[in-house]
Amino acid sequence: MDYIELAKTYEELEKNSSRLSKTYILAKFFEKTKKENIEHLTYLLQGLVFPIWDDRKLGFSNQLALKAISQAYGISPEKVENEWKKLGDLGTVAEIFAKNKKQKTLFSKKLDTEKVFKNLRELATLEGQGTVNKKLSLVAELLTSSNPLEAKYIIRTILNQLRIGIGEGTLRDGIVWAYLPKLEKISSEGYDKLKQGKKKKISSINEIDYNVDILDTDDEKTAREIYNYFIDKVQNKYDLCNDFSLITSKISQKGIKGLDEIKLQVGLPIQVMLPIRIEKIEEAFEALGNKIQLEDKLDGFRVQIHYNGKEFKLFTRNLENVTKQFAELIPILKDNIKGNNYIVDTEVIGYNPKTKKYVPFQFISQRIKRKYDIEKISKEIPVEIQAFDVIYYNGKSLMQEPLSERRKSLEKTITPSKLKIKCTDILVTDSKEKAEKFYKDKLKKGLEGAVIKKPDSIYTPGRYVAGWVKIKPVLETLDLVIVKAEWGNGKRSNWLTSYTLACQKNEEFLEIGKASTGLKEKKEEGLSFEEMTKILKPLIIKEKGKEAIIKPAIIIEVAFEEIQKSPSYSSGYATRFPRIKRIRWDKSLEDVSDINLVNKIYDFQRGKKK
């Protein structure tokens, strides 16, 4: 496919804010994509060249992009930088200089998506002497062959700043609309032209036939059930592989039956099962039944441990590979977990090497992104593995087995070793009094609360699924993303402070107030303004006076006294007395608290005040 076709699709997606419109655009793009191109084009639509869990990176900074633009168009770096400061987007800068380009180079040729994908992937393989010049050459080669619109999106892709507003849910729906049997009832919601093909009249979900192109029904409820069935099927497979390119490749080759080939695989991280928030122990019994399993809610970070018989891989809940950062755990795993291969779900907790007491998450969060001095920091902030589930063992998926059986398997598999590895403490009970006591005892020990599970629940990857709940003694904190910051005054003049925070709604970010309380002026006291400035500075998109627009990437946990109505922010709400607790390196943008949770907290507060 010519790259200009993809660039035009990017532009169309960027111009349309409606999720329904974006879904339609994606569906039409997938429909015209040839099978042999579908894999790399699905990556490029996401602004990726590798799966999101792959630890290979393009390693292209804003400064390198600036130099590539300068080199490709014969413009001085100073002129490129001045335009960047005015526009705040190097992609738009490249587009402008491409328009002013007097002539194409002698060797330039029409760009296709395969060439762009190949060059971008090669960026991640380069290392050693001369790497910077080689990277510049690869990108400059693409720019000199590109028209202005292509140049814009090439630069945005290498900087991971595509800005076309499609998230996981929109892409999933676009795939369903494009590749799975069409429903005539669904067409009224935007999919207005059904392709010609075999047609079958159906009256219930049980009559689905994957060998026809169009499913026709007179019943709106049936149409909705079938549509949701396909959405759930694609989502479930994505939760297992976290790779939409694999999904589109399988469907384009074999139809919906191809999805059955996507299975749980050691070495590929899955979306972990997450508990739903409750306020009282009674709610746990109402949600889960007469018998429940309680266990510690720990202030660590979630780690999936994968072992394929030869090598270990450790992934956070955000699908980051942290095997190198926690290399000291590998000997522990070898000595204390029996099995030819497995996937074990755990919480990793930091502790003080002198007092042997557990420390808050913020103390170990810095280890997740650490690339240097790993051995040194592992001694300063050692960690303990607390295992609570096993979902694959000795060649067999255990996801469909009840929790009670998985727990037995886990305890047989793990040999405890103090401050190295153990299974979480649990209590299985049908007594509300015993459950309350377990919960309160954990709070006295300084833990966050309790996770409560249904003993016969299967393991269901993903957010907000039934079977697990959590309870904490305080009002729910919010996980918000930083979208703006302000340069400080006086002794804080060199630091970014006063962070504007946002929640999400349908994959868009809505501002919900500002915060800076909780950060320290001295870095030895905890998360500091200096440290936060170093983190945010590379993410600055544009500056106006003292205000800096920040690329949404850094998620922070925020405590607050209450939620208030506020016309000053796009969410319609503001947090009262917000306090920054920590950076959530273990969370992705999909984990940012949504407006529905904010509404729920606001309504809950009103109920308490009455």
Distance CA 303, CA 323 (A): 10
**Token couple for 470:** 């959590």
> For the CA atoms of the chain, what is the radius of gyration?
26
534 given a catalytic annotation: no
**Token couple for 394:** 């000795």
Close Cβ partners of 155 (under 8 Å, ≥ 6 residues apart): 65, 68, 69, 90, 91, 93, 94, 143
Place of tokens 């919906």: 256
Q: Indicate the DSSP class of residue 58.
A: -
Distance CA 508, CA 592 (A): 10
Predicted confidence (pLDDT) at residue 565 exceeds the cutoff of 60:
yes
Q: How confident is the model at residue 184 (pLDDT cuts 50, 70, 90)?
A: low
Domains of the chain as residue ranges with CATH: 3-158 (1.10.3260.10), 168-261 (no CATH), 276-471 (3.30.470.30), 478-609 (2.40.50.140)
55-95 pLDDT per residue, tens: 888 888 888 999 999 999 999 999 998 888 788 789 999 99
Predicted confidence (pLDDT) at residue 193 exceeds the cutoff of 50:
no
Nearest-CA neighbor of 65 among 145, 151, 147? 151
Q: In degrees rounded to 5, what are phi and psi of residue 474?
A: -115, 165
Q: Which residue has the higher pLDDT, 177 or 313?
A: 313
Residue from 237, 250, 297, 453 carrying the catalytic annotation? 297
Distance CA 109, CA 95 (A): 18
The residue ranges of DSSP E strands in 230-333, in sequence order, are 276-278, 292-297, 301-307, 312-316
Q: What is the pTM of this model?
A: 0.78
For residue 107, count other CB atoms closer than 10 A to its CB. 8
The residue ranges of DSSP E strands in 166-225, in sequence order, are 182-183, 199-201, 214-216
Distance CA 460, CA 446 (A): 29
Q: If 0-12 CB within 10 Å is exposed, 13-18 middle and 19+ buried, where does residue 201 land? A: exposed
Sign of the dihedral through C-alpha 576, 579, 584, 585? positive
Considering only 358-367, 405-414, 509-518, which range has the smallest mean pLDDT?
358-367
Nearest-CA neighbor of 94 among 7, 5, 1? 7
65 alpha-carbon distance from chain centroid? 25
Q: In degrees rounded to 5, what are phi and psi of residue 116?
A: -60, -50
441-485 pLDDT per residue, tens: 998 888 889 999 999 999 998 766 779 999 987 657 899 999 999
522-540 pLDDT per residue, tens: 777 778 899 999 999 989 9
